[in-house]
Structure 1
Amino acid sequence: MMVTNPVFYKCPGCSGTVMVMNPDMCMAPTPEDLSVSCAGNEMEILSEQTADFAKEKHVPIVEKVEGGIKVTVGSTPHPMAEEHYIMWIGVQAGDDFMLHYLNPGDAPEAFFPCPDTDVKAFECCNVHNLWVNR
C-alpha cells in the first residue's frame, strides 16, 4: 500500500516523533482525532510548514547529485547544536518513503538514492517542528 499523506506527531516531553503512514485507513474521522501518546503524554500533530520567516531557514532544498538526490535544510545551513538541530530528513517518492536521522554536529543534509528530484521532502527541527518543500 502506498504512503499517501503521512501525518507526524511529536511528544512534548521527549521530542520523539511518530509517522502515521496511512491515516485515511484509520477509524478516526481526521488525523486530529487520532489518539497518539508517548509515556503517557498526548502527542501533538505537526502541521507542514513551507514558508521561512525566522532567521533560521528550514524549508528542505532538493538537488540532483550523482547517484540520487541531496536534501539540504535551508538556504542558509540550519544550526546543528544540542539545543537546536534537525532530528531527521525524509523524502516521499511515489510508493517509497526514505528517512535519514541526524544528530547535533552533523551537516543538515542527507543523500537519498532517488532517480529524480520530483519528491516531497520533509524535515523535523527539534525546536520549529515539521517543514516540507511543497
Structure 2
Amino acid sequence: MLRVYFEEIFKYKTNAQLEHIKKALMAVNVHIAASTLSGAGYALAVATSVRIGLNLSMQLSALTGRAAGTAAGVVATYGLVQKAAESARRLHVQYPAYYSALYMHQLEMMYFLIEPVFERAGALEAQSSSDSCIANIITRMIR
C-alpha cells in the first residue's frame, strides 16, 4: 500500500523534482538509497524506508491475533470490516486517485491499517503539495 501511495505521489515528478526531494530528505538525515532515480524506483525505496520506520509487521500480526477466536472473534471481525469500510470511504472522498490505485490492487479495504500514520503525517495533502512538503511528509512518516 505504501508503494502504491508513493507511486501515485511521484507519478508526474521529473528527475529534477525527485532529486530535490532526495536532497531535502538528506538535509534532515533521512537517507533513501535508490540506484535509479525514476519515479517507480524511488517510490519503492521510500515505501521500504517508511515501512521499516513504522515497523508495520508487528501491528499486522497483533491485529491478526486479536481477530482470531470463537464468537468474540466473529464480532471483532465484523468490527474490523466496518472500520475498514469507513476508512476506505473516507479515503475515497479525501484522495480519490490513491483510492483508485488501491482499488485496482484490491487493497482499498486494508487502508485502515495505515490510516493513522497517514493522518499523523498529513500524507493525504501530498496530492497538491510542493516537493519540500512531500519531503516533510516522508520524514514524518518515517519518524
* TM superposition score category, shorter chain reference: under 0.3
- Higher normalized contact order (CA 8 Å, seq sep 6+, divided by chain length): 2
What TM-score do the two structures reach when normalised by structure 2? 0.24
**Higher helix proportion (structure 1 or 2):** 2
Q: Determine which structure has the larger strand proportion and give its number.
A: 1
**TM-score scaled to structure 1, two decimals?**
0.25
User: Which of the two has higher C-alpha Rg?
Assistant: 2
